[in-house]
């Protein structure tokens, strides 16, 4: 069966396009399976590859990404790592959020020291602090604590709540992230990174044709290349 999106696929191209259209509508795997008639196992496999494609796209456009590597964040022995390692080895649930040129970007903060982190977000750490400067932590405007589904504003130490402060783009983006956590009844540690990057992608392209963008990405880099690399398997 010819399928330019994925070699040795068991479903035709038209079904992949249908799946992609439904994904762009932000439906769950179960909903997509029920509508398309594709098995949920197959849907999940495709969604993982599509989300991996999106995450790579986001990393390529992230201002603090250098050659697809993550900047080493707070750690006793910081090591530059790639997105795959973050997904597999990071056991914390902190993501830094910042805005650049009308877009919102996120980065995983690896193994933070809780006392240092608390002092930082409360403005008790100087902006000239070596750890902040060397690890580019000074660029973050907020920290998403996924374990408690809270948004912590840097230099205020206050959890963001509607009505207590002026709502800005980071609040709007956090709303998307938080609703995603609720929608999927929490995020599996193996796919958290992918969902965060999907939220970033959807927010930054909220006025664009998502299907056209993702379809273009897949045409340039078919899904079977990701499958062969087993980036997040």
Element (H, E) at 96: strand 94-100
Q: CA quadruple 80, 85, 87, 93: dihedral positive or negative?
A: negative
Query: What pLDDT is attached to residue 134?
Result: 67
- Quick check: 94 and 117 in contact, CB under 8 A? yes
Lowest-confidence segment of 124-128, 142-146, 157-161, 168-172 by average pLDDT: 157-161
| pLDDT tops 90 at residue 211 | yes
- Burial of 134 from C-beta contacts in 10 A (0-12 / 13-18 / 19+): exposed
pLDDT digits (tens, 9 = 90+) for 124-149: 777 777 777 666 777 888 888 887 78
| Interaxial angle between packed helices 29-36 and 13-24, expressed in degrees from 0 to 180 and rounded to the nearest 10 | 140
* 195 within 8 A of 47, measured Cβ to Cβ: no
C-beta atoms surrounding 80 within 10 Å: 11
Over residues 26-55, the pLDDT tens digits come to 999 999 999 999 999 999 999 999 999 999
Whose CA is closest to 56, among 22, 86, 26, 78? 86
Structural contact between residues 46 and 37, judged by C-beta atoms closer than 8 angstroms? no
On the CB side of 211, how many CA atoms lie within 13 Å of its CA? 10
- Among 109, 104, 64, which residue's Cα sits nearest to residue 198? 104
How far apart (Å, rounded) are the C-alpha atoms in residues 223 and 78? 32
Q: Which of 100-114, 136-150, 162-176, 199-213 has the lowest mean pLDDT?
A: 162-176
Looking at residue 82, its pLDDT comes to 42
- The whole-number pLDDT of residue 27 equals 93
Q: Nearest to residue 98, comparing CAs of 139, 133, 131?
A: 139
Does position 71 have pLDDT exceeding 70, yes or no?
no
């Amino acid at each position: 069966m010819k399928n330019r999106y994925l070699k040795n696929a068991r479903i035709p191209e038209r079904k992949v396009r249908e799946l992609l259209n439904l994904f762009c509508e932000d439906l769950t795997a179960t909903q997509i399976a029920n509508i398309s008639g594709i098995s949920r196992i197959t849907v999940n496999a495709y969604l993982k590859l599509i989300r991996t494609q999106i995450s790579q796209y986001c990393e390529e456009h992230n201002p603090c990404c250098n050659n697809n590597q993550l900047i080493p964040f707070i750690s006793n022995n910081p090591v530059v790592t790639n997105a795959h390692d973050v997904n597999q080895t990071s056991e914390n649930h902190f993501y830094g959020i910042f805005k650049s040129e009308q877009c919102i970007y996120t980065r995983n903060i690896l193994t933070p020291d809780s006392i240092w982190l608390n002092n930082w977000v409360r403005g008790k750490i100087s902006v000239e602090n070596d750890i902040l400067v060397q690890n580019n932590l000074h660029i973050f405007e907020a920290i998403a604590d996924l374990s408690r589904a809270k948004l912590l504003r840097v230099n205020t130490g206050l959890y963001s709540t509607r009505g207590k402060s002026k709502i800005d783009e980071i609040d709007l983006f956090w709303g998307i992230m938080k609703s995603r956590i609720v929608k999927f009844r929490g995020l599996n540690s193996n796919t958290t990174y992918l969902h965060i990057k999907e939220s970033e992608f959807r927010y930054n392209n909220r006025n664009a044709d998502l299907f056209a963008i993702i379809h273009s990405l897949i045409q340039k880099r078919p899904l079977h290349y990701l499958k062969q690399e087993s980036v997040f398997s």
